Structure 1
Amino acid sequence: MSERLATQYVERREEPRAPVCAPARILHGDRLALWADCTIKDISAAGAKLEISHFYKLPPRFVLVHFQAGVAFEVILKWRRGDLAGASFERRHVLETLDEPRLAPAREAWVALRPGLGG
């Protein structure tokens, strides 16, 4: 007699993620000069799932600009599978009031590309 074990999905996130389809930009490198556009597929206060071409090599840490929310997140790459990536948020910055010089490229991208108000 053999028993079949059912595969169960175990949610490891502290908070559930909400599904979205929001345009975003990943910035990294010296002075955040390197960038790639992506799509946020789901999001929570702690992290997000991103869709970005598997050809683009993501660094272990980067800045994610969420255009619709007007927020920049400093993130840690947690996983990568094909065109999907999981990111954990370290810090959150409201772009409307952001005045940190090191994150100026994130604010500039948001000002130029934010929905309905872009340059």
Structure 2
Amino acid sequence: MSEAAWIDRRIEPRAPVSDRVRVFYGPNLGSWWDATMRDVSASGLKLEIPALVPLPKALTVLHVPDGQVFIVRAKWRNHDMVGCKINQKHSLETETDPAFAQIKAAWLSLKT
């Protein structure tokens, strides 16, 4: 199919990025893996994370550059790429909920 014939049917525009993230999962978010965010839209994001990492559907993604936390659900996986639907967004700059204390501590150590 030629480039001119390709039609983007996405509901929302995606912004390509190449940002560092840490993906938390499991009981008490005790497991994590560093990954790369490849694109983001208002309702979703795409992560690049090695296929050998077994991920559950529910993930918490820390966007290291700005301290945004995304509560997401993995919708698809194709080798090293994982497409996620964003359910909630939080900013660690203003978040006071103690449930985010562990993630905030990780962010403070990673952002330097």
Same fold (TM over 0.5): yes
Give 1:101 deviation, angstroms.
2.1
SS of 1:22's partner is strand
Normalising by structure 1, we get a TM-score of 0.83
Give 1:69 deviation, angstroms.
2.4
Pairing 1:53–2:85 present: no
The AA in structure 2 aligned to 1:19 is: P
SS of 1:63's partner is strand
For the structure 1 residues 96 and 26, does the alpha-carbon distance in structure 2 shift closer, same or farther, using more than 3 Å as the test? same
Task: Provide, for residues 5-55 of structure 1, a one-character-per-residue CA deviation record: whole Å limited to 9, x for no partner.
Answer: xx96663x4211100100001001121110000000011121111000000
Distance in 1 of aligned mates of 2:90 and 2:21: 14
Give 5+ residue unaligned stretches, structure 1. Answer: 1-6
Distance in 1 of aligned mates of 2:66 and 2:96: 17
Distance in 2 of aligned mates of 1:17 and 1:43: 5
Which residue does the alignment assign to 2:32?
35
Distance in 1 of aligned mates of 2:7 and 2:77: 19
**Identity of aligned pairs, percent?**
38
Structure 1 stretches of at least 4 aligned residues deviating more than 3 Å after TM superposition: 7-10
Distance in 2 of aligned mates of 1:42 and 1:28: 20
How many residues align? The count is 108
Aligned residue among 66, 70, 75 for 1:73? 70
Give 1:100 deviation, angstroms.
1.8
Distance in 2 of aligned mates of 1:8 and 1:45: 23
RMSD: 1.6
For the structure 1 residues 60 and 30, does the alpha-carbon distance in structure 2 shift closer, same or farther, using more than 3 Å as the test? same
Normalising by structure 2, we get a TM-score of 0.88
Give the number of the structure whose alpha-carbon radius of gyration is greater.
Answer: 1
